[in-house]
Amino acid sequence: MTVLNIGDQKPFTTKDGSSIRSILDAANAPVQHQSLAEARLPAGGSTKAHYHLLSEEFYFVLSGAGEMSLDGETRAVNPGDAVLIPPGAWHSVSAKSEEGLWFLCCCSPPYSHEDTYFA
């Protein structure tokens, strides 16, 4: 059984500019097919528009307010909202509240810098 506490995980910055703390992935557990991370954007912060050729992603908003752009469509996102990001879909997310934006990100296959592409 693998049980890890997020408080023991060190944050890092992804290629898109968000601050991530891995919860479970191949770097800290015997994970094979997915990854789960906590992501934070400061107030006014945003990720760079990008896509993943292989990974399907889910974002789940925990707190704050944001704006999600996905293949040219933009929508507000708030706590409790879940977003499906298919492989190959251009996407970015912005924090639109004073507290920033805090969300979970699940990727399958697991997130990798090598699978992050920009224009």
What is the mean pLDDT, run by run of 10 residues, along the chain of 119 residues? 96 89 94 96 96 98 98 98 98 98 97 92
Q: CA-CA-CA-CA torsion for 36, 79, 18, 41, nearest 10 degrees?
A: -150
Per-residue model confidence (pLDDT) at position 119: 86
Q: pTM (2 decimals)?
A: 0.94
The domains located in the chain, with CATH, are 22-115 (2.60.120.10)
Per-residue model confidence (pLDDT) at position 17: 85
Specify whether the CB–CB gap between 38 and 21 falls below 8 A: yes
Residues in the chain: 119
Q: Which amino acid is at 68?
A: M
Residue 83's contacts (CB-CB under 8 Å, 6 or more residues apart) are 58, 59, 60, 61, 68, 70, 77
